[in-house]
């Protein structure tokens, strides 16, 4: 069955690009556009039901609370979880930081006896990977600094795949936590979550999954994947900015101490002591971005109604068209494997154009109405490992058409000529 043409659902896609050209938006891995369903849900919430969530006894407070609770359920179901396992965060970055900061707090004795399982000290190890986004590197560097634990990482091969040959050494008896991404925002590689989870479990280490790039494209189910925590962000899956979520297994969220402190997180506060509410409330200090939460819920519903399996299949088609296409252009190097049957990748392609800096590539594409991302995509260690300083990335979403991809390929093929780099050099 052909994937439906949903472009009509996305108002922004009707606007013009530079020079009056048709907008060809291929920057969805950076941020995706919102369908009118998501815009309408937020609009309706603000117009009809807006009030203080979780506090107040008036009608609006009650209806607003109900709307946000319901959004939490929508987002939870989207990843196979219960609402009690979903914590609102500002974005995926904040979710990853929350786990690392909470483990730091636990390491200082906060959270008492039940939080000791999260505590790190000298002699312990934190494991990340070489393909991580900066948001899944820096919090762990800081946690290592704070606790005296050592930071180790799983290396990648020349195509950005995790090299698991030394996994049992890298994730050893001293490993307390393993943080890794589900799918790469640079190479598109979908990592073998089960292999890492299995090893982490064998040594009693916690797992934290950065699902930022997988949640929009794959049928992600965190309990089935077996991870302990996972982070994802609304704005990469057709929702608004300003909201993301941390998934945590219930018993872990119950034991994990909060790391940001404030109103609506507590049972009792005296001048010297505080007792926390149950998760997720204890992690959501202060007024929350409730309008965005409603939008997040609507985005999850939209994708669910569109059909996760269909989205995944369509994504593979687009990924194939895009990645095969760029590899057939002279002087263009694809970062990561071409992918295909047996090695699925998500719908993006980051490329190096020989002799032309990504900024210049992006500018020429922009002139043709094509929006791509240029730079290191917050993955400097991975770029260094792949032997490039930065790259140009095109990424797809449900609204991407074959024509969008073909137009990008054609424009990309002309870039070197524009800069006089396409000759015999």
Partner 1 sequence: MSGLEQMYQQVIIDHARERHGHGLADSPGRVGESFQVNPVCGDEVRLRVAVDGDRITGVTWEGHGCSISQASVSVLHDLVEGATVRDAAEIAATFRALMDARGEPPDSETEELLGDGAAFVGVGRYPARIKCALLGWMALKDALIQATKEKT
- Give the SS3 label for residue 206: strand
Residue of 360, 385, 401, 406 interacting with partner 1 (CB under 8 A): 360
Residue 288 C-beta-side C-alpha neighbours within 13 Å: 30
DSSP string, 72-86: HHHHHHHTT--GGGE
Q: Could you tell me the smallest distance in angstroms from the CB atom of residue 360 to partner 1?
A: 5
Number of amino acids touching partner 1 (CB under 8 A): 19
On whether the CB atoms of residues 235 and 93 are closer than 8 A, the answer is no
Q: Could you tell me the smallest distance in angstroms from the CB atom of residue 335 to partner 1?
A: 15
Task: Answer yes or no whether residue 388 interacts with partner 1 by CB under 8 A.
Answer: no
Torsion of CA 238, 343, 413, 419, to 10 degrees: 90
Q: Could you tell me the smallest distance in angstroms from the CB atom of residue 375 to partner 1?
A: 4
Task: Answer yes or no whether residue 379 interacts with partner 1 by CB under 8 A.
Answer: no
Rounded Cα distance, 365 and 304, in Å: 33
Q: Could you tell me the smallest distance in angstroms from the CB atom of residue 359 to partner 1?
A: 4
Q: Could you tell me the smallest distance in angstroms from the CB atom of residue 389 to partner 1?
A: 6
Long-range contact pairs involving 166-172 (C-beta distance under 8 Å, separation at least 24)? 167/195, 167/196, 167/199, 168/199, 170/127, 171/127, 171/196, 171/199, 171/200, 171/203, 171/205, 172/125, 172/203
Interface stretch with partner 1, choices 63-71, 177-185, 330-338, 358-366 (CB under 8 A): 358-366
Rounded Cα distance, 318 and 397, in Å: 9
Task: Answer yes or no whether residue 359 interacts with partner 1 by CB under 8 A.
Answer: yes
Number of Cβ within 10 Å of residue 264's Cβ equals 16
On whether the CB atoms of residues 140 and 100 are closer than 8 A, the answer is yes
Interface stretch with partner 1, choices 92-100, 129-137, 306-314, 363-371 (CB under 8 A): 363-371
- Give the SS3 label for residue 421: coil
Task: Answer yes or no whether residue 276 interacts with partner 1 by CB under 8 A.
Answer: no
What is the DSSP code (8-state) at residue 243? -
Task: Answer yes or no whether residue 54 interacts with partner 1 by CB under 8 A.
Answer: no
Catalytic member of 378, 379, 405, 415: 378
Nearest to 322 by CA among 343, 340, 303, 308: 340
Task: Answer yes or no whether residue 414 interacts with partner 1 by CB under 8 A.
Answer: no
Q: Could you tell me the smallest distance in angstroms from the CB atom of residue 207 to partner 1?
A: 30
Interface stretch with partner 1, choices 69-77, 106-114, 176-184, 370-378 (CB under 8 A): 370-378
User: Bridge partners of 162?
Assistant: 156
User: Which residues, including other chains, have CB under 8 Å from residue 406's CB and lie 6 or more apart?
Assistant: 321, 325
Interface stretch with partner 1, choices 4-12, 163-171, 231-239, 362-370 (CB under 8 A): 362-370
Residue of 1, 19, 423, 424 interacting with partner 1 (CB under 8 A): 19
On whether the CB atoms of residues 218 and 233 are closer than 8 A, the answer is no
Task: Answer yes or no whether residue 380 interacts with partner 1 by CB under 8 A.
Answer: yes
Interface stretch with partner 1, choices 105-113, 138-146, 179-187, 414-422 (CB under 8 A): 414-422
- Annotated active-site residue 378? The verdict is yes
Q: Could you tell me the smallest distance in angstroms from the CB atom of residue 135 to partner 1?
A: 15
Q: Is 127 exposed, middle or buried (0-12, 13-18, 19+ CB in 10 A)?
A: buried
Interface stretch with partner 1, choices 83-91, 98-106, 209-217, 352-360 (CB under 8 A): 352-360
Q: Could you tell me the smallest distance in angstroms from the CB atom of residue 385 to partner 1?
A: 15
Residue of 257, 336, 358, 381 interacting with partner 1 (CB under 8 A): 358
Q: Are strands 150-154 and 373-375 parallel, antiparallel or unpaired?
A: unpaired
Residue of 3, 73, 276, 419 interacting with partner 1 (CB under 8 A): 419
Task: Answer yes or no whether residue 416 interacts with partner 1 by CB under 8 A.
Answer: no
Residue of 374, 394, 398, 411 interacting with partner 1 (CB under 8 A): 374
Number of Cβ within 10 Å of residue 328's Cβ equals 9
Task: Answer yes or no whether residue 420 interacts with partner 1 by CB under 8 A.
Answer: yes
Greatest pairwise CA separation for the chain in angstroms: 76
Task: Answer yes or no whether residue 17 interacts with partner 1 by CB under 8 A.
Answer: no
Task: Answer yes or no whether residue 372 interacts with partner 1 by CB under 8 A.
Answer: no
Which residue is associated with the tokens 């018993």? 251
Task: Answer yes or no whether residue 333 interacts with partner 1 by CB under 8 A.
Answer: no
Rounded Cα distance, 390 and 379, in Å: 9
Q: Which is nearer to partner 1, 152 or 377 (CB)?
A: 377
What interhelical angle do 402-418 and 308-327 show, nearest 10? 20
Q: Which residues bind partner 1 (CB under 8 A)?
A: 18-19, 356-360, 363-364, 367, 374-376, 380, 389-390, 418-420
Catalytic residues: 378
């Amino acid at each position: 069955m052909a994937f439906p043409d949903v472009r009509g659902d996305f108002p922004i896609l009707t606007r013009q690009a530079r020079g009056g050209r048709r907008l060809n938006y291929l920057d969805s891995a950076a941020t995706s556009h919102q369908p009118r369903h998501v815009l309408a849900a937020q609009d309706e919430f603000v117009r009809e039901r807006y009030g203080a969530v979780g506090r107040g006894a008036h009608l609006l407070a009650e209806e607003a609370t109900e709307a946000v609770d319901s959004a939490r359920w929508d987002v939870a179901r989207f990843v196979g979880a219960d609402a009690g396992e979903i914590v609102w965060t500002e974005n995926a970055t904040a979710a990853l930081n929350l786990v690392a900061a909470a483990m730091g707090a636990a390491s200082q004795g906060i959270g008492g006896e039940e939080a000791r399982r999260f505590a790190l000290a000298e002699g312990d190890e934190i494991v990340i990977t070489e393909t991580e986004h900066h948001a899944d590197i820096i919090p762990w560097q800081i946690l290592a600094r704070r606790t005296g634990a050592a930071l180790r990482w799983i290396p990648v091969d020349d195509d950005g795949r995790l090299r698991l040959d030394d996994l049992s050494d890298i994730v050893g008896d001293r490993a307390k936590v393993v943080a890794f991404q589900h799918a790469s925002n640079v190479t598109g590689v979908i990592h073998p979550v089960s292999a890492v989870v299995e090893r982490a479990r064998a040594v009693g280490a916690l797992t934290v999954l950065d699902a930022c790039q997988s949640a929009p494209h794959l049928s992600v189910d965190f309990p089935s994947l077996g991870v302990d925590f996972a982070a994802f962000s609304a704005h990469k899956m057709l929702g608004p900015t300003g909201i993301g979520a941390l998934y945590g297994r219930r018993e872990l969220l119950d034991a994990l101490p909060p790391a940001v402190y404030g109103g609506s997180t507590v049972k009792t506060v005296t001048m010297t002591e505080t007792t926390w509410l149950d998760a997720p409330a204890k992690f959501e200090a202060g007024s929350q971005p409730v309008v965005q939460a409603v939008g997040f819920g609507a985005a999850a519903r939209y994708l669910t109604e569109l059909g996760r399996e269909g989205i995944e299949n369509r994504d593979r088609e687009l990924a194939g068209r895009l990645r095969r296409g760029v590899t057939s252009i002279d002087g263009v190097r694809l970062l990561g494997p071409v992918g295909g049957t047996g090695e699925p990748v998500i719908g993006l392609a980051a490329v190096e154009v020989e002799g032309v800096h990504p900024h210049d590539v992006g500018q020429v594409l922009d002139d043709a109405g094509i929006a791509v991302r240029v730079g290191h995509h917050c993955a400097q260690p991975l770029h260094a490992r792949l032997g490039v300083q930065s790259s140009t990335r095109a990424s797809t979403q449900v609204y991407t058409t074959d024509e969008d991809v073909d137009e990008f390929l054609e424009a990309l093929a002309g870039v070197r000529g524009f800069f006089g780099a396409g000759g015999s050099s």
